[in-house]
Amino acid sequence: MRDHLIEKVLYSKEEIASMVQRLGQAVSRDYQGKSLVLVSLMKGSVVFTADLMRCITVPCRLECMTVSSYHGAQSSGTVTVLQDISSSLEHTDVLVVEDMVDTGLTLQSICGHLRQKGAANVRSCVLFDKPARRIVPVKADYVGAEVPDAFLVGYGLDYHEYYRNLPYVGILSSAVIDRDCRQNSSQSKE
C-alpha cells in the first residue's frame, strides 16, 4: 500500500471515529426498547459495522450479507445477493449498515429484499453519501458525511479489493484507475 497513490485524504482516522460515534448515539437513541438487527453489507462495511456496533448502547444482533454490484471502479447496474442472512427477521427492526450509498441501487434492492423477509421496519445507516452518482431516489436514514464524486478508498472501501486497511479515507489517484483501464483495454484486444 503506497500512500502516494492517494490524491487527497478526505477524512482522518480521528474524524471517522467522531462520525461513527455520532451515528452510534443517534441509533441508540432511536432504537431504545426495540429488537434491533444490524445487517452489514460485506465486504466494504465490515470496518464501519464493527466500530458502529461498539458505539451502539442498545442490545442488537448482527447479520451479514454479501452482495455484488461493482466491477472495479464501475457499477454493474445490477445487485446480486451472493450470501443472504442466516436467521429470521420476523418482527424485528433492521438497520442496513453500508459503507457508502452512491447510485442507490444496492441500498434500494437490499432494503426491499429485507422487507420481503418480514422485518417490521427497515432503515439504513451509511458512513458516506455520494448524491452526485444517484440513479434511484433513495435516502439513507443515518449518514456520516456527504462526499464528492471521486473514487474513495480506505476504512473498508476498496479498489479491486485493495486499500481497505487504510485507517483514513482518501481519493484514489486517477492515475491508478487510468492505468488499470489501459491494461484491461490492451488485454481485451489480445
Return the pLDDT at 78: 77
**Spatial distance between the Cα atoms of 83 and 41, rounded to a whole number of angstroms:** 10
For residue 129, what is its C-alpha cell?
Answer: 453519501
Q: For residue 188, what pLDDT is reported?
A: 45
Q: Pick the residue with more confidence: 75 or 125?
A: 125
How far, in Å, CA of 173 to CA of 117, rounded?
Answer: 41
Q: Are the C-beta atoms of residues 122 and 94 closer than 8 Å to each other?
A: yes
Q: Which pLDDT band, with edges at 50, 70 and 90, does 176 fall under?
A: confident
Kindly list the structural domains of the chain, giving each domain's residue range(s) and its CATH number in brackets, ordered by start: 13-149 (3.40.50.2020)
pTM of the model: 0.87
Share the mean pLDDT of the chain: 89
Interatomic CA distance for residues 119 and 92, integer angstroms: 5
User: How do residues 52-88 score in pLDDT, each as one tens digit?
Assistant: 999 999 999 999 999 887 554 555 567 888 899 988 9
Q: How many CB atoms lie within 10 A of CB 40?
A: 24
Please identify which of the residues 30, 51, 84, 102 carries the catalytic annotation: 102
Residues of the chain with pLDDT > 90, as a percent, come to 76
In this prediction, residue 186 carries a pLDDT of 47
99 catalytic, yes or no?
no
Query: Could you tell me which residue, 99 or 71, shows the higher pLDDT?
Result: 99
Rounded to whole angstroms, the Cα distance separating 134 from 105 reads: 8
d(CA 63, CA 96): 9
